[in-house]
Structure 1
């Protein structure tokens, strides 16, 4: 597999508004893919990365609990699936428990993907540097498996990749080699019961989610809302519905106490979202708060020439 990520970051930000402003049709390009199928997300966040329980715990231990957010799903009205109604929303459930996963928050940032001259405010992964369009934790121990293995898992499953959606909507070549290889080094694909407690979580007390579900649906969860879901996920046991009270209380406290550079940057980005977009704001908003630097594409190209490595950033 070989991909051309320079100047793209299509899998790290919501570029649908750019297509909506053009003459292209969003439906034909497939960029509404998350709103299709039997269980659409309750929220409208694009390409939310699903974290494993161990990854969630690692972010909490690193003091980054303020970058985590939950996702729930709408139940399919045409299927006799397990579901619950909370806050007027019919949501998907497992064994009578609301199902959810935990991902990384996407605040508005001024970005100029796909070689655009003018930046635009777009929902962007908390760890993406708006100036270089590179991930600030790429190669770090916290870098999620789902990001590291993308788009190889999609290729293994013969599913369309974000690279191909970008090519179709914006032109250019992003997926240079669509051979995922033999799968060596890729994380395990979690499907069905084996995902419970490891990547797909369930909340044991649906009655406690009144109010929370509606705020999640409107992309407005409070810190306490996020803490409730994150703590439940961190306290889960893989393959079961059991949760640990100790890990729940510890995780909830860590989310509410978190005051990371990334969390503070999210708040600042949201305050500035009415300003004229300028990628140079990254220095004042993220770098000044201690964000890890990114190398830039020239440095990576030089490293690649010396190592003869693949173009997979």
Structure 2
């Protein structure tokens, strides 16, 4: 597996607005392959095109690192009435009458200029993406999700179009250099394998009243996210069982005041986007993220032209 990532980060941001501006939104609704979804029936309630699902252990690791604010849940519309639970006027996909969800990384608005574009645009970009270098701030960290390190091999294994190929089609260039899938590829966690490991079941649908609506409108609160993170942290592999101890631990960790750079940076990006008159240089990430303690990225000069995931 070999990909050319320099100047891209297409898998770490929502670049559909760039296509819309150019009058080419043919790929607007294409998404990263997901084990639960069927594109015709189980549409996610949020608008993230390349949501990265985390495992239970990864959720716990982020909670321990005081980075709960970097995480967010994803719910889906039910495929049919047999798997549906009605919450906030939505028929939510469920297992055994328990609403199911993923936990992934948030995408605040950041000023970025991907694909060799001259000017920055405000685009939803991964909380850990450095807008200046378009590199991941946790690439060499134990916190890097397995889904990120394996991408786009999972999509190729599932015979799904990759973000690399969509970027090539929209902006030209070579991104997917070698599409061979490693023999030791794992972590797909399809169907029942995902239950309790990547696909989490909420045991009390009534606690999600208001949460589902705010998910769909993009207005989740910290308390909303904490409820879902606590259930994810308390889940058990292969079952719908929930550990009360880990639920209470996860809820406390998610709501605890954090000294992490993530919390203040997320708030400032949202504030700058709302108050912005035009789009600033990506270099303001030094003040918004790096000055708060975000890990610096190496840049591309020391790396080979083509980098491997």
Q: Could you state the TM-score of these two structures normalised by the residue count of structure 1?
A: 0.92
Superimposed CA distance per residue, residues 10-35 of structure 1 (whole angstroms, 9 cap, x where no aligned partner):
000000000011132x23x3653369
| Aligned equivalents of 1:46, 1:151: Cα separation in 2 | 14
Contact 1:75 1:91 in 2 (8 A): yes
Deviates more, 1:260-269 or 1:274-283: 274-283
CA distance in 2, matches of 1:208, 1:2: 44
Match for residue 52 of structure 2 among 49, 52, 57: 49
**Residues 208 and 197 from structure 1, CA distance in 2 versus in 1: closer, same or farther, beyond 3 angstroms?**
same
Tell me how far apart the structure 2 counterparts of residues 19 and 49 of structure 1 sit (CA, whole Å): 22
Q: Distance in 2 between matches of 1:68 and 1:181?
A: 29
Report what 1:272 is aligned to: 272
1:258 is displaced (CA, Å) by 4.3
Helix, strand or coil at the partner of 2:104: strand
Contact 1:108 1:122 in 2 (8 A): yes
The residue aligned with 2:253 is 254
Determine if the alignment matches structure 1 residue 163 to structure 2 residue 159: no
Deviations 1:97-136 (A, max 9, x none): 1010100110000000001110000000000000000000
SS of match in other structure, 1:90: strand
Tell me what 1:284 maps to.
Answer: 287
Secondary structure at 1:300's aligned position in 2? coil
1:40 aligns with 2:38: no
Counterparts of 1:205 and 1:223, CA distance in 2: 19
1:191 corresponds to: 190
Residues 273-293 of structure 1: per-residue CA shift (max 9 Å, x gap): 032322011011001110000
Report how many aligned residue pairs link the two structures. 300
Which residue of 2 is the match for residue 311 of structure 1? 307
* Structure 2: runs of 5 or more not aligned: 33-37
Q: How far does residue 139 in structure 1 lie from its aligned partner after superposition? A: 2.0
1:121-136 matched pairs, under 5 angstroms:
121-136=122-137
Equivalent position of 1:307 in the other structure = none
Distance in 1, matches of 2:186 and 2:133, equals: 27
Alpha-carbon distance in structure 2 between the residues aligned to 1:154 and 1:213: 28
1:15-94 paired onto structure 2 within 5 Å: 15-24=15-24, 26-27=25-26, 29=27, 31-33=29-31, 36-76=39-79, 79-94=80-95
Provide the C-alpha distance between the structure 2 equivalents of 1:280 and 1:222, rounded to a whole number of angstroms. Answer: 29
Alpha-carbon distance in structure 1 between the residues aligned to 2:98 and 2:16: 32
Alignment of 1:198-237 (within 5 A): 198-237=197-236
* Structure 1 stretches of 4+ moved >2 Å: 29-37
Deviations 1:155-189 (A, max 9, x none): 1221110000111111111111111132x2x3332
Does residue 97 of structure 1 match 2:98?
A: yes
Q: Is the 8 A contact 2:88 2:209 kept in 1?
A: yes
- Equivalent in the alignment of 1:118: 119
Q: Which residue of 1 aligns with 2:35?
A: none
Give the 3-state SS of the residue equivalent to 1:280 in structure 2.
helix
Q: Are the structure 2 counterparts of residues 97 and 239 from structure 1 closer, same or farther at C-alpha, using a change threshold of 3 Å?
A: same
